[in-house]
Amino acid sequence: MKHSLGNRIGVFDSGVGGLTVLRKLYRHLPQESILYFADTQRLPYGTRSKTEIILFVREILDWMANEQVKMVIMACNTSSALALEEVQSEYNFPILGLIHSGAKGAVKKGKRIGVISTVATAKSNAYRNAIKEINPQVDVWQVGCPEFVPLIEQNRIYDPYTKKVAEDYLSSLIRNDIDSLIYGCTHYPHLQGLLREILPSSVNLIDPADYVVKAMEKELELMNLRNHDIVLPTRFCVSGEPEDFAKISKQWLGFTPTVEKIYLPSITPVTKQLTSLDNYLYAESVMV
């Protein structure tokens, strides 16, 4: 039997978005133990530069390596788009991203695909490139949605303002008659009810988390990394305020988690990011 300390799967995101991936892990791989990290001190990632994202990702992965994880899911599309290829070969455990898995799932569902994501993911063209690599005949439209993450993190999903923002972001995709929509950010499944109200009922909603969890299941099997020990309670860690994360995550987890604060090397009072919506409004929606 493996020692339990080396038996967790690491999952990380900038905030509560990765909980949508965590819930699917609970459903499909209930025998696995998980370490969840949310970099809430530095969210949102979607308006950050590639250099910053790679720095953040390396810090998180270094910490997870010290915690002896056996595999990691980047439950953050921005990290997957900007950092995955840079860091995959640097660690002695498998690191899975969302974009290739999501693209494969979307191409099976539609030919006119919309992608909503952070500004950084949209600018990277990661989804467009991944989809076109699989099937060059598929049409792809991408929209950067800078306000979604802060609105979700502030628990404003049912705010009328959020619906207005969503209508603005989706308008061009609806005009282009998309048949499928990829959640290009793990926060966005939290908006599913709202998006369903706005989109034609025929549009398929594609959650890359469904496909990355299936890929992880195969990887665990191939590498003989399945957990045969006792399943440990999920360990929740954040770089920001534990109480804030525990409070907002309760509605999606169904329980109030015990949350630890972790100090990463580059987080200082100078780099602390405020979470008021005003900080994000300068980032414009990106159409590619």
**For residue 266, what are its two tokens?**
């580059």
The reply to whether 145 belongs to the active site is: no
Question: How far, in Å, CA of 164 to CA of 167, rounded?
Answer: 5
Nearest to 187 by CA among 248, 242, 247, 140: 248
Question: How far, in Å, CA of 195 to CA of 208, rounded?
Answer: 16
The reply to whether 185 belongs to the active site is: yes
Cα-trace Rg, the chain: 18
> Which of the following is catalytic: 43, 76, 84, 98?
76
- Angle 233-235-241 from CA coordinates, rounded to 5°: 140
Contact assessment for residue 206 and residue 183, using Cβ atoms and an 8 Å cutoff? yes
> Which of the following is catalytic: 43, 185, 194, 212?
185
Q: What are the φ/ψ torsions at residue 182 (nearest 5 degrees)?
A: -90, 130
Q: Which residues are catalytic?
A: 76, 185
